[in-house]
């Protein structure tokens, strides 16, 4: 469950239109006004303020570079919105590289007719999330497509960060005996979205877990160095799909213990009602760490010291048995293979 | 007019589906198969092949970082397609920063139902354009939205490049007396798109000018160093809008000579038929250089030495008169103010 988040409150500037029009993407006066009053004022910094075709800065060292487009529906959901998600998603992908997130690009594809109020709420949310993650938006782009050719707003963020000294995140380092740790309860994001998605509505207090993970990941690397072999955030496809990718790409097996996998009781109940296996439900605010076995308990203690509410725990291990397969052991000792998600559970979960 | 381009010819891999489905964006087996067979095989390199959440590499020096989303319709147009455009567009924004383009991220937002053949054609085109521009795609993302919630495919590319030693591209360096050079004929891209756009069809041989501009721009900086004060590509909004941005941001006036502005006769005729001012028509393969006046003719000669077909020429100058305004002098000596594009000419031109 995510903790309550502080949001900035900035009055919307006086703009000439209530809704985004095609002309806001035309590259002329409306585009310039929207950027000047709507974006640059809010997100401005010394690099973005140059308004050039790109940002220019000095940089040196091992670098992580990652991109994600966000198409989530609805735009506003329990626990977050597309703006916050777009920042956190890319911040987290940098964190999974063992990097300290630094700069983001921000690109909008807006459907004609998007309410200016909604765009403003999303911008405010982006600003808040950037401040929380200590990243800056330094370059961007805005396109507008005709009504019916998009869906309100899609956001791409691309990020760069400094890979930490001592980070040795590499799938090739995963080896037999390593412990698999999950940083917190699973499946909250997907269930929060489903709880408000058309046709699937039910009352719940379940919130998306969207949040930046770089502090926890950076702290693990600072404390445990190369004992942290891999970090992955189990977003689309859930825990099962990401663990299958790790098994496949490392050519090892993974054995999970079902009773160890942390899940909120409400989320578990919702999964049962909806007939969903929580192992396949999307997450946005947790990560999997593959760590040297003899450091596993220390890593868990460390994660709990960073967040006393964390349900971090060892959920399994890497094994030489059943290479390239993920197997789960149930509470009563039975075993079954957990495949990668076949098809998809719910479109546009992120 | 762009020169004929060599395209790679790669047979499409055998995939399980003729069209992209929602499940291709689900993060499970179909996403993985599509990436493995469709994307990684074609675009693979030592960084992309890691399949991690981001790419990791060593980097040092002054850096340019830029992003663009491409929503052009139709996807395939005379002289190019969305894939090539998406690579060239970001390569060119890096070039306008005085940078040598190096790495790209690549993010797709695909509408359910996109023909796999079309996706493959676009991927081939991306690969060709990357090779032509000497850049590598090193990280990416694929999302799929429901039929009717997108329009076939949108592409975001974000790029990083090394700013060249000696480059001093900065709007604050633009000063009275500087020459304004355009690298080639204007308005070809916009007219090529209009020629095939629904409701505006007419026969023409006009091709989009989409092409990478980094070789020309990099060569100018290498040869003329700080005498090159600003580089801008006049895409959406055309020459008029970009020159207005330069006038506004430098607080200077710009005086153009109408008869000097190079335009292909066919393009000019098409503009007259369509009632369009070519100054506002989008370009994808030309740039404006603001240069020290006493180097202007040498710069033009240099551009023509790089491309014997180039119609590069001095089209105007920076003046202390009419600050923040662009004024054009006609062939018979009359003057008029050229404003930034108001509204937009044609949506989704890039």
Look up residue B182 and give its two tokens.
């355009």
Render pLDDT for A123-137 as a digit per residue (tens, 0 to 9).
999 999 999 999 999
Contact B58 A61 (CB under 8 A): yes
Q: Burial, B122: exposed, middle or buried (Cβ in 10 Å; 0-12, 13-18, 19+)? A: buried
| Cβ atoms within 10 Å of B167's Cβ, excluding its own | 24
Can you give the pLDDT at residue B317?
98
pLDDT of B2 = 44
Could A156 and B237 be called an inter-chain contact, meaning their C-beta atoms sit closer than 8 Å? no
- Could you say which of A139, A163, A187 is where a domain stops? A163
B108 at the A interface (CB within 8 A)? Answer: yes
The whole-angstrom separation of Cα B262 and Cα B276 is 16
Residues A95 and A180 in one domain: no
Locate A339 and state its tokens. 């495949």
Which residues from chain A sit within 8 angstroms of residue B114, using beta carbons?
none
- Chains A, B: CB pairs < 8 Å: 285
> Is A209 among the domain residues?
yes
Low-confidence stretches of chain B (pLDDT < 70) are: 1-9, 198-202
A106 close to B (CB below 8 A): yes
- Decide if B146 and A341 are in contact by the 8 Å CB cutoff: no
A50 found inside a domain: yes
- The per-residue pLDDT for range A185-206, each reduced to its tens digit, is 999 999 999 888 866 666 778 9
- CA-based nearest residue to A87, from A144, A154, A139, A135: A135
> Do residue A244 and residue A308 come from a single domain?
yes
Query: Which pLDDT does position B165 carry in this prediction?
Result: 96
Chain B residues in contact with A33 by the CB 8 A cut-off are: none
Among A28, A60, A341, select the one facing B28 at the smallest CB separation.
Answer: A341
Do B129 and B105 fall into the same domain?
yes
Rounded to 5°, angle at Cα A256 from A250 and A260: 140
A175/A159 same-domain check: no
On the question of pLDDT at A47 being above 60, the answer is yes
Task: Give me the pLDDT at residue A328, please.
Answer: 98
**Residue (of B82, B308, B94) closest to B212 by Cα position:** B94
Taking CB atoms and an 8 Å limit, are B64 and A56 in contact across chains? yes
Q: How many helices (H) and strands (E) does chain A have?
A: 9, 13
Tell me which of B116, B138, B163 is where a domain ends: B163
**Cα(A271)–Cα(A237) distance, integer angstroms:** 15
From chain A, the residues in CB contact with B69 under 8 A are 107-109, 141, 143, 156
> Is there a single domain that holds both residue A176 and residue A321?
yes
Task: Among A55, A154, A344, select the one facing B109 at the smallest CB separation.
Answer: A154
Report the residue of chain B nearest A105, measured CA to CA.
Answer: B67
| B156 touching chain A per CB within 8 A | yes
Which chain B residues are within 8 Å of A282, Cβ to Cβ?
27
Q: Which residue has the tokens 């502005």?
A: B261
Q: Of A171, A77, A170, A68, which is closest to residue A125 (Cα–Cα)?
A: A77
Task: Collect all residues of chain A within an 8 Å Cβ-Cβ radius of residue B235.
Answer: 27
What is the DSSP secondary structure assignment for residue A25, as one 8-state letter? G
Contact A59 B59 (CB under 8 A): yes
Q: Which residue range is the domain that position B205 belongs to? A: 171-338
Contacting B residues, span 159-218, partner chain A, CB-CB under 8 Å? 159-160, 163, 169-171
Among the three residues A102, A130, A163, which one is the final residue of a domain in this structure?
A163
DSSP of A212-239: --HHHHHHHHHHHGGGEEEEE---TTHH
| Spatial distance between the Cα atoms of A88 and A85, rounded to a whole number of angstroms | 5
- pLDDT, one tens digit per residue, over A80-126 is 999 999 999 999 999 999 999 999 999 999 999 999 999 999 999 99
Taking an 8 Å cut-off on Cβ atoms, the answer to whether B146 and A249 are in contact is: no
Beta strands in chain B (DSSP E): 55-70, 76-77, 80-81, 99-111, 136-145, 153-163, 179-182, 228-232, 253-257, 288-291, 313-319, 326-329, 335-338
A194 and A144, same domain (yes or no): no
Taking a C-beta distance cutoff of 8 angstroms, is the pair B94, B220 a contact? Answer: no
Asked if B56 reaches chain A (Cβ–Cβ under 8 Å), the answer is yes
Of A127-141, A200-214, A225-239, minimum mean pLDDT range? A200-214
Residue in chain B closest to A163 (alpha carbons) equals B56
Domain assignment present for residue B237? The answer is: yes
Q: What CATH number should be reported for the domain holding residue A31?
A: 3.30.1330.10
Contact B282 A27 (CB under 8 A): yes
pTM higher than the cut 0.90: yes
CA A31 to chain centre: 29
> B249 CA to chain A: closest CA distance, Å?
9
- CA distance to A68, A119, A189, B236, per residue, from A154 (Å): 11, 11, 18, 20
Neighbours of B203 (CB within 10 A): 6
Strands of chain A, DSSP E: 55-70, 76-77, 80-81, 99-111, 136-145, 153-163, 179-182, 228-232, 253-257, 288-291, 313-319, 326-329, 335-338
Report the C-alpha gap between A27 and A43 in whole angstroms: 20
User: In this complex, do B171 and A52 lie within 8 Å of one another by their Cβ atoms?
Assistant: yes
* B19 CB-contact burial (10 Å; exposed 0-12 / middle 13-18 / buried 19+): middle
Q: Do you find a cis peptide bond into B74, omega within 30 degrees of 0?
A: yes
Do B32 and B145 lie in one domain? The reply is: yes
Judge whether A118 and A110 are in contact, CB under 8 Å: no
Q: What is the pLDDT at residue A2?
A: 44
Task: Tell me how many domains chain B contains.
Answer: 2
| CA distance to A62, A163, A320, B43, B264, per residue, from B59 (Å) | 6, 11, 37, 21, 42
Best A22, A49, A102, A143 residue to mutate vs chain B (most B CBs within 10 Å)? A143
A20 CB within 8 Å of a chain B CB: no
Residues A241-278: pLDDT tens digits?
A: 999 999 999 999 999 999 999 999 999 999 998 889 99
Measure CB to CB from residue A109 to each of B69, B235, B343 and give the nearest one: B69
Task: Assess whether A206 and A256 both reside in one domain.
Answer: yes
**Does B147 contact A at CB distance below 8 Å?**
no
Q: Is residue B158 part of a domain?
A: yes
Q: Say whether residue A284 is in contact with chain B using an 8 A CB cutoff.
A: no
pLDDT for residue A200: 65
Cα B218 to Cα A42: distance, rounded to the nearest angstrom: 34
Report the complex ipTM. 0.95
B341 touches A at CB < 8 Å: yes
Longest dimension (CA), chain B: 67
Judgement on whether residues B28 and B145 belong to the same structural domain of the protein: yes
Q: Domain with A227 in it: what CATH number?
A: 3.90.650.10
DSSP assignment letter at B25? G
* Residues B32 and B134 placed together within one structural domain of the fold: yes
Is B349 among the domain residues?
A: no
Please tell me whether residues B59 and B139 are part of one structural domain: yes
Cα of A195 to nearest chain B Cα, Å = 19
- CB-based contact (8 Å) between B94 and chain A? yes
Give a yes or no: residue A1 inside a domain.
Answer: no
B residues 71-90 near A, CB within 8 Å? Answer: 71, 73
Contacts of A82 in chain B (CB under 8 A): none
pLDDT above 90 covers what percent of chain A? 81
Q: Is residue A345 part of a domain?
A: no
Give me B22's structure tokens.
């929602």
CB B154 within 8 A of CB A154: yes
Task: Tell me the chain A residues in contact with residue B344 when contact means C-beta distances shorter than 8 Å.
Answer: 22-23, 25-28, 30
Q: What does the pLDDT read at residue A14?
A: 73
Looking at the domain assignment, is residue B8 inside a domain? no
pLDDT in tens, A291-343: 999 999 999 999 999 999 999 999 999 999 999 999 999 999 999 999 998 87
- Beta strand B313-319 pairing with B253-257: antiparallel
Q: Quick one: which H or E segment has residue A44?
A: none
Q: Do A51 and B245 touch (CB under 8 A)?
A: yes
- Note whether B150 contacts A149, CB cutoff 8 Å: yes
Cα dist from A13 to A37, A318, B85, B109, B286, whole Å: 6, 54, 34, 30, 35
Closest-CA distance of chain B to residue A133, Å: 18
Could you tell me which residues come within 8 angstroms of residue A269 by beta carbon, excluding any fewer than 6 positions away?
Answer: none
Give B218-269 pLDDT, tens digit per residue.
999 999 999 999 999 999 999 999 999 999 999 999 999 999 999 999 999 9
CB B178 within 8 A of CB B317: yes
Average pLDDT taken over every residue of chain A: 93
Q: Does B33 touch chain A (CB under 8 A)?
A: no
What is d(CA A233, CA A213) in angstroms, rounded to the nearest whole number? 9
B45 touches chain A (CB under 8 A): no
A190 and A315 in a common domain = yes
> In the numeric block, which tokens belong to residue B28?
């499970």
Distance from CA of A62 to the nearest CA of B (A): 4
């Amino acid at each position: 469950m995510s903790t309550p988040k502080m949001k900035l409150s900035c009055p919307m500037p006086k703009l000439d239109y209530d809704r985004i029009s095609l002309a806001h993407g035309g590259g002329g006066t409306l585009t310039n006004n929207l950027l000047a009053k709507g974006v640059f004022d809010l997100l401005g910094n010394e690099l973005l303020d140059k308004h050039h075709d790109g940002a220019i800065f000095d940089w040196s060292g091992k670098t992580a570079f990652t991109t994600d487009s966000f198409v989530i529906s609805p735009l506003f959901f329990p626990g977050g919105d597309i703006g916050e998600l777009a920042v956190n998603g890319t911040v987290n992908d940098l964190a999974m590289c063992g990097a300290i997130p630094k700069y983001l690009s921000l690109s909008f594809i807006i459907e004609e007719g998007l309410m200016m109020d909604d765009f403003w709420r999303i911008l405010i949310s982006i600003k808040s999330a950037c401040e929380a993650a200590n990243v800056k938006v330094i370059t961007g782009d805005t396109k507008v497509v005709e009504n019916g050719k998009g869906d309100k707003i899609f956001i791409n963020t691309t990020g760069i960060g400094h890979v930490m000294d001592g980070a040795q995140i590499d799938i090739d380092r995963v080896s037999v005996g390593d412990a698999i740790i999950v940083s917190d309860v699973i499946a909250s994001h997907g269930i929060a979205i489903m709880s408000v998605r058309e046709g699937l509505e039910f009352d719940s207090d379940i919130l998306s877990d969207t949040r930046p993970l770089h502090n926890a990941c950076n702290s693990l690397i600072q404390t445990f160095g190369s004992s942290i072999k891999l970090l992955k955030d189990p977003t689309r496809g859930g825990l099962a799909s990401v663990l299958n990718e790790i098994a496949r790409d490392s050519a090892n097996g993974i054995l999970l213990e079902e009773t160890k996998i942390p899940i909120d009781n409400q989320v578990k109940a919702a999964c049962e009602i909806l007939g969903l296996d929580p192992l396949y439900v999307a997450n946005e605010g947790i990560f999997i760490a593959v760590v040297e076995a003899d450091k596993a308990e220390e890593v868990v203690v460390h994660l709990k010291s960073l967040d006393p509410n964390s349900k971090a725990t060892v959920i399994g291990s890497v094994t030489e048995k059943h290479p390239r397969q993920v197997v789960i052991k149930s509470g009563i000792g039975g075993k079954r293979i957990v495949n990668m998600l076949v098809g998809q559970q719910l479109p546009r979960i992120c």
